[in-house]
Structure 1
């Protein structure tokens, strides 16, 4: 390492485990190669997949090479462009997703190398700290509602686990598209869901799935624990999508059971989807929903909070 090489802060860990394995370290600042963009990160956010990777729940994919970094979502400013990069400018405010979950560089870092295909201009309708809450959950909600559930105006949507990052984003998008939205959430989160545009809220603690009428054209299940039961609330011809890995066994089983097939979504970052999300933010259809903003030094606390499974929006990590 050259003594003149610029350094930067990064969150890393040397073994799988609880939030306590995370630490803020000083590492060499990366330089962009061909097809790469160097970004000064203003904020990142904590997603359920970040928690799962850190804990070792995806070790078959992420392997045992350490140290590892954390964080997929970012919002920041373009500092330098590698060769062969077009469509972005130095100084531009951008947001995006680091798509390689096994990479050494996560978004919880002052400077990151990103790919142009998963990076685009950040929405002008919100600041970069708030914008960092949206990329992963936004792409997931958008792809689920638009591409898999084919949700249209006047249709009835049920969102299970509605107060989390994907659920709260899906409520807003569905409301903007003219759908009737029923949100499954805790009683404490009901006012939050209604503020986002839910037409009706149902407390999962007092209303079991079998108490729901078969009235829904589409179901987005962000929880997965009672997927089989909520599936029965679909009208004939209805569609259902789950976004959690815990839903995979029943999703496979549903291909041979009577009734609608459960489709499992693992959203990949696409530039066009990020651009669509930015347009929704700038039109006022979509607002970032943030549970809490943490400084980088408190990222362990952010992961601990994320592990509870209870949220009203996202946990954001501020770096600037």
Structure 2
């Protein structure tokens, strides 16, 4: 089978599509024929070596976090899934994988997948797994958004941002989206009550907000200062400087900057499917690439300016 692998740390040029043996599911695992995956920040920082403490220095390293596809086989002790089930899910982000989701087949623990929404194409499903689950965990579990609260989504046009705007709106929040002015029409259509131009709006001229969802990971202290009394802030845009600001913010109690590593299991993916079925959440896709052009998808992600997600389709294989 074909699998995309990182052959050394570096630019997108280090990605190779290699022929590898098709894996077999073990106890509690399923084998999925992958139809689509997407490019996430995690993929890029593993490829560049920024996470070498986790990924190690042994090559090749698999790439790709999320996937949508069809169950081909199950290992023992798997009762919820059978061959032919359409599923979506995510490989474990903190483990080293020789083959990950950017491949014709992937083996994954059964507790990391759920049945995909019935009416959602694989390309659309792959665009929502990481982005949607991250936004859902941030709003529901981390800051516990309640109806009527004022919400700022920073980086609102990206994958997590577009999902956060939709979910915050569905949860009854008054949503302010911070993004480039050219994305205002889209974000309003997704549920934003107000769209502020990221290029001209400074943090000291907005707010206060009850909840801030940050996807950028810079100037966190400036935005934290825009929280109302009892406000909560969460960031999913992690960097060394962001980690320092998060640690320093612990002095502020409930108004500290929260963060988490999105690592959804079946219950979160089920809840995400409910949001899709209800019409509260839909995918936003910037562009679609075939697996053969995954390096181009990585380059496009790194250039920035993405609206929603870059999705990669995986051709069917009989291998």
TM-score (norm 2): 0.95
Q: Give the Cα–Cα distance (whole angstroms) in 2 for the partners of residues 27 and 288 of structure 1.
A: 31
Does residue 43 in structure 1 map to residue 47 in structure 2?
Answer: no
2:235 to 237, 242, 248: 242
Query: Does structure 2 conserve the Cα–Cα contact (< 8 Å) formed by 1:192 and 1:312?
Result: no
Aligned to 2:27: 34
Q: Which runs of 5+ in 1 are unaligned?
A: 1-7
3-state SS of paired residue (1:239): strand
Q: Give the Cα–Cα distance (whole angstroms) in 2 for the partners of residues 212 and 245 of structure 1.
A: 23
Does residue 280 in structure 1 map to residue 275 in structure 2?
Answer: yes
Aligned to 1:146: 140
TM-score (norm 1): 0.95
Aligned to 2:57: 64
2:205 to 207, 211, 215: 211
2:173 to 170, 173, 179: 179
Aligned to 1:296: 291
Aligned to 1:166: 160
1:197 to 188, 191, 194: 191
Superposition RMSD in Å: 1.2
Q: Give the Cα–Cα distance (whole angstroms) in 1 for the partners of residues 254 and 149 of structure 2.
A: 19
Q: Give the Cα–Cα distance (whole angstroms) in 2 for the partners of residues 114 and 67 of structure 1.
A: 19
Query: Does structure 2 conserve the Cα–Cα contact (< 8 Å) formed by 1:44 and 1:72?
Result: yes
Judged with a 3 Å threshold, the aligned counterparts in structure 2 of structure 1 residues 127 and 41 are, in CA distance, closer, same or farther, namely same
Aligned to 1:106: 100
- The one-character-per-residue Cα deviations of 1:16-59 (angstroms, maximum 9, x if unpaired) are 10001011111111111111101100000000111111111111
Q: Give the Cα–Cα distance (whole angstroms) in 1 for the partners of residues 166 and 298 of structure 2.
A: 25
Segments of 4+ in structure 1 off by > 6 A? none
Aligned to 1:157: 151
3-state SS of paired residue (1:255): helix
- The one-character-per-residue Cα deviations of 1:184-235 (angstroms, maximum 9, x if unpaired) are 1011122221111111011111111011132x11000100112111112111
Q: Which runs of 5+ in 2 are unaligned?
A: none
Q: Give the Cα–Cα distance (whole angstroms) in 1 for the partners of residues 24 and 254 of structure 2.
A: 52
- The one-character-per-residue Cα deviations of 1:75-131 (angstroms, maximum 9, x if unpaired) are 000000111111011101000000144111110100110111111100113111110
Query: Does structure 2 conserve the Cα–Cα contact (< 8 Å) formed by 1:52 and 1:58?
Result: yes
Does residue 119 in structure 1 map to residue 113 in structure 2?
Answer: yes
Q: Give the Cα–Cα distance (whole angstroms) in 1 for the partners of residues 171 and 227 of structure 2.
A: 20
Q: Give the Cα–Cα distance (whole angstroms) in 2 for the partners of residues 173 and 261 of structure 1.
A: 22
Aligned to 1:265: 260
How far 1:148 sits from its partner (Å)?
1.1
Q: Give the Cα–Cα distance (whole angstroms) in 2 for the partners of residues 266 and 109 of structure 1.
A: 23
Query: Does structure 2 conserve the Cα–Cα contact (< 8 Å) formed by 1:41 and 1:110?
Result: yes
Q: Give the Cα–Cα distance (whole angstroms) in 1 for the partners of residues 216 and 297 of structure 2.
A: 20
Q: Give the Cα–Cα distance (whole angstroms) in 2 for the partners of residues 94 and 259 of structure 1.
A: 37
Query: Does structure 2 conserve the Cα–Cα contact (< 8 Å) formed by 1:11 and 1:70?
Result: yes
Aligned to 1:52: 45
